Every structure is written in C-alpha cells, then in structure tokens.
Amino acid sequence: MSEHSEHDKGGVYSTKGKAFERDSNYITTRIVVDPEPGTNDFPVEPGRYRLIAAYACPWANRSIIVRDLLGLGDVISMGNPGPTHDADSWTFDLDPGGVDPVLGIPRLKDAYLKRFPDYSRGITVPAIVDETTGEVVTNDFAQITEDLFFQWKQYHRADAPDLWPTDRRDEMEEVMRRVYTEVNNGVYRCGFAGSQEAYDAAYDRLFTALDWLEERLGGSRFLMGDAITEADIRLFTTLVRFDPVYHGHFKCNRNKLTEMVNLWGYARDLYQLPGFGDNVRFDQIKDHYYKVHLDLNPLGIVPKGPDLSGWTTPSGRG
C-alpha cells in the first residue's frame, strides 16, 4: 500500500518527516426518525439497512458492539468483510464465493460507487447500505453509533443500556473527545509518524492520556461511573488491540496494557460482559494490521504472541 493509502477509517498515512493526519471527511447522510424536508437523510425503517462492519477494524467494531448491546440485530442486518483488503476496497472474502449474501457484491466499493459514481475517497467501514437500492447511506462512524441509540430507540430491547445518560452527557462528550484524539487516534499517530520527532511527540501524548485514564478508572468501575456508556465502547476497541497490535506494530511500547492495573482490570471487565468479548476476533485483528500495513511490516509476518488467555481471568472490578 502506498503511503497515502486508506486504512480503517480513512486515515491518511504520514509522509516522511510529518505527523499522521486522519482524513475525517465522511458521508454525512443520516438515518433518522423524521428526515427533514430538503435533506438527504433516510428514514428509520426496520429491515431496510445493512451494517457493513469488519471485526478487524476498531472503528467498525464499535458499531458491532452497539448494535448488539441495543438488540438491533433483528432490524438492521450485518455483513462482515474479511480482515485484509487491498488499496481499492474492503472485500467479502469470508462469504461463500466472496460475495455479500444480501447485497450480492464482492467489494464494499460497489455500494459506494452505486450512489456516488465518482467517489474518490477511501472505502471505509463501518458503512450502512440501503438494501433496497444497494447504495451506501453513510460511513460516519461516530454518527452511526449515536444514531443507533437515539434514532432507533423504539426498536431497542427492553433491557438495553443507557449509553448516552442525560445527566452525564456534557462530561461524557469531553471524555470521548480526549479518548478519540489522544488514544483512539493516538496509537495511529505513533504508528504512522513520519519522523523521530513526530513519533516522540505522539508517544508522549498517548501515554499522558493513558495515565489520565488509569487514574480516572481507579475511582470508578467505568468511565462515567457504575454503568457502561458509549465512552466505554469507544475506549474498549482500542484497548483490546493494544497488546496484540499497537504495543509492537505501532511502537506504543512504554508498557503493555497488562501492566496498567486499572486499565487492564477495566478492559477485562468489559470484555467479559455480553456484547463486548464475543464481538472480538483477535485472529482477524492481527491478520489485518500485520498483513495490510506492508509499509510497516514488509514481509507480512503475523506474530504468534502475545498470550491472550488473560482476557478471561477475573477482573476484580465487579
């Protein structure tokens, strides 16, 4: 892949001597209860949409977890591209014949081009596709999970968690902003730094944020208190990839996740909850990063380690 190729959520790889920058220009169409006249938004309609989300991708993994936690599996179908892709598109190589069984396409790019024939940006996951037309609706990963909560509420299961608590929302938004810029994106800033100076700065920013989270989680079970929220989901998908990928592959190696007492206990606590660990595919995660990032790992060799059996050990946080 070239140094400007797209990965996961359309991150633009840094050029030599420069810091990593993420392309954050997404398809802004939304799926809402009452689309405003004159907008391109789509209506909430059970059975109409298909979430395309690769288990390998942390940004897509969020949407898989949220869909599961809210009980939306019966109203929004899901397709899962394989863990590796070329510079052109995510592909459905895990499905029989390499074709998505509902959309009938071999490449996610086909759904993008069906709506936007001249689409030239990265083909990213998660994406939601309209099954009635085969056209992509949106790939805005942050907006997707927020809308799954607020716009699809009438279809949530009775015991669905309150992922966006009203009384904590302002603080939660601040926490999520810092988690995104410093941790979710911070590991990529380390991995794709274009110079020693850029890497050193990224490394310091990342571990400053992890130390802040370690301290915060010393006083509460989850980021916002005693119940899981969207903030926890957003942090979890980075933490679960930390030791298998980011510690070595992205040079985030001051210490492992397993060496941070509160963060490690917190991550295991989440992993062992329904909807979290059962939506983690460590084999696909490792295949994706080590086989796709040939600029960082030219031979495509996938490490056998680390030992991941600790994820099922008691967290001590319940």
Separation CA 12–CA 105 (nearest Å): 26
What secondary structure letter does DSSP report for 161? Answer: -
The domain boundary, picked from 101, 120, 155, lies at 155
Which domain CATH number covers 215?
A: 1.20.1050.10
pLDDT beyond 80 at 271: yes
Regarding whether 131 and 63 lie in a shared domain, the answer is: yes
- Identify whether residues 176 and 218 lie together within a single domain: yes
Together in a domain, 35 and 145: yes
pLDDT tens per residue, range 15-66: 456 777 776 789 999 999 999 998 899 999 999 999 999 999 999 999 999 9
Say whether 57 is catalytic. yes
Domain-embedded: residue 302: no
The residue range of the domain holding 268 is 166-280+289-296
For tokens 């936690």, name the residue.
Answer: 69
Exactly one of 57, 199, 266, 271 is catalytic; name it: 57
Q: How many structural domains does the chain have?
A: 2
* Cα 223–chain centre separation: 18
21-22 and 11-12 beta bridge pairing: antiparallel
pLDDT at 87 over 90: no
Within a domain: 318: no
Last residue of a domain, one of 124, 155, 186: 155
Dihedral sign from CA coordinates of 316, 257, 229, 82: negative
- 190: annotated active-site residue: no
Q: Are residues 33 and 143 in the same domain?
A: yes
* pLDDT at 147 > cutoff 50: yes
Q: Is residue 213 part of a domain?
A: yes
Domain assignment of residue 224, yes or no: yes
Was 90 annotated as part of a binding site? yes
**What mean pLDDT, rounded, does the chain reach?**
94
Choosing from 49, 55, 188, 271, which is the catalytic residue?
188
Is residue 316 a part of any domain in this protein?
no
Q: Are residues 90 and 47 both part of a single domain?
A: yes
Read off the tokens for 122: 């990265």
Domain boundary at 155, 188, 204, which?
A: 155
